[in-house]
Amino acid sequence: MRPTTITKLNTGAQLSHSVFAQARDWIECARSVAVLTGAGISAESGIPTFRGPGGLWNNYRPEDLATPQAFARDPKLVWEWYDMRRQRVAAAQPNAGHRALAKLESHAPNFTLITQNVDGLHRAAGNRNIIELHGNLWLLRCVSCGRQEENRCVPLSPLPPQCTCGGLMRPGVVWFGEALPADAIRLAVLAAEKCDVFLVCGTSAVVYPAASLPERAIAAGAHVIEVNLEKTPFSQFAHISLRGKCGELLPRIIRVPPFPEPVI
Ligand code: APR
């Protein structure tokens, strides 16, 4: 049965109760749930997004800070920027949106969280089956010997950090122009194509291959629910597209047993 399209434009009172009820029902009845998150889910934890108001790319040029060429040119400058971001994340806590997804994982028969975020806040909130498509800020990798380590020191010193082999350590994230980890994208595609419900939370849906995942889920017959403050290029394809903050809307559509008695 092809899911009916229900698209509403904002979270105001006029957002019919049935849209939330429909989203809740799909989630509660799902045997398999997959979720794609972006920077928007961490915005309420004080982590800036990349695009839109206050986005990092409004003040910084990706080609100066988030490419292998930029690192080769000026590793100290690149590290100063990543260290600034690590310090912000170190001071941040998961929010109600992160926590709702952790709660969902603890109840859904099959659950996969696919994130573009490198902040590690989903794991801090309690999620476990996480695919980090774009890497993780707390990982460092040697550009010479390939050794990888988890390092949560903030501020990091000295910059740039050095490997025991004498090589330079780079941030364990995926930069523009670099391929995503093969296993990560393979498992993400599998989860998108196998799920009954696919949630798309706080992403502008413009960076591929991550942005292809909701499309794959639709093609595979899943119900796709988008939560975003703004309309995205994907909104018109979502079965339900909710306008608002992840921290406010996810707890409203993710309920876990014991369910509250229906108000007669
Ligand atoms: N709740 C819901 N959505 C939000 C919230 C919020 N509180 N705050 C912002 N948003 C939405 C914005 O409307 C926007 O659509 O989150 C989205 C954030 O988009 P981007 O900043 O483009 O972040 P993201 O989609 O994760 O970027 C993808 O691009 O720069 C690269 O590698 C980086 O992983 C990143 C990738």
Residue-wise pLDDT tens digits, 229-247: 999 999 999 999 999 999 9
Question: Ligand 1 centre and the CA of 258: distance in Å?
Answer: 33
- Is residue 20 very low, low, confident or very high in pLDDT (cuts 50, 70, 90)? very high
Q: Which of 50, 199, 208 to mutate to test the pocket of ligand 1 (most atoms within 8 A of CB)?
A: 50
For the stretch 193-196, contacts whose Cβ atoms lie closer than 8 Å and that sit 24 or more positions apart, written own/partner, are 193/217, 193/219, 193/220, 194/32, 194/34, 194/110, 194/220, 195/30, 195/32, 195/33, 195/34, 195/110, 195/112, 195/220, 195/222, 196/26, 196/29, 196/30, 196/31, 196/32, 196/33, 196/222, 196/223
Mean pLDDT of the chain: 91
Question: Ligand 1 centre and the CA of 209: distance in Å?
Answer: 15
Query: For residue 241, which amino acid is it?
Result: S
Residue 257 is predicted with a pLDDT of 67
d(CA 58, CA 161): 27
Residue 2 is predicted with a pLDDT of 38
Q: Is 116 in the pocket of ligand 1 (CB under 6 A)?
A: yes
Residue 77 is predicted with a pLDDT of 94
H or E segment to which residue 38 belongs: none
d(CA 28, CA 244): 21
Residue 184 is predicted with a pLDDT of 97
E strand segments, 63-166: 110-115, 130-132, 135-142, 148-150
Instruction: Give the 3-state secondary structure percentages of the chain, helix then strand then coil, rounded to 5.
Output: 35, 20, 45
Q: Is 248 in the pocket of ligand 1 (CB under 6 A)?
A: no
130 pLDDT higher than 90: yes
Q: Is 39 in the pocket of ligand 1 (CB under 6 A)?
A: yes
- pLDDT (mean) for 49-78: 89
- pLDDT (mean) for 118-127: 98
Count of residues in the chain:
264
d(CA 207, CA 154): 29
Q: In what order do the strands lie in the sheet with 148-150?
A: 148-150, 135-142, 169-173
- pLDDT (mean) for 186-213: 97
Q: Of all protein residues, whose CA lies closest to atom 8 belonging to ligand 1? A: 40
88 pLDDT higher than 80: yes
H or E segment to which residue 41 belongs: helix 40-43
Residue 62 is predicted with a pLDDT of 83
Residue 56 is predicted with a pLDDT of 81
Residue 44 is predicted with a pLDDT of 98
- pLDDT (mean) for 62-80: 94
d(CA 131, CA 134): 9
Q: What is the pTM of this model?
A: 0.93
Q: Which of 49, 85, 173, 241 to mutate to test the pocket of ligand 1 (most atoms within 8 A of CB)?
A: 49
pLDDT per position as a tens digit, 1-17: 334 444 444 444 445 67
What ligand 1 atom has the least distance to the C-alpha of 176? 32
The alpha carbons of the chain give a radius of gyration, in whole angstroms, of 19
Q: Is 200 in the pocket of ligand 1 (CB under 6 A)?
A: no
Q: Is 202 in the pocket of ligand 1 (CB under 6 A)?
A: yes
Question: Ligand 1 centre and the CA of 203: distance in Å?
Answer: 4
- Among residues 98, 122, 134, 239, which one is catalytic? 134
- pLDDT (mean) for 38-59: 90
Q: Is residue 134 flagged as an active site residue?
A: yes
The CA–CA distances, whole Å, from 150 to 30, 78, 97, 220, 226 equal 35, 18, 26, 37, 33
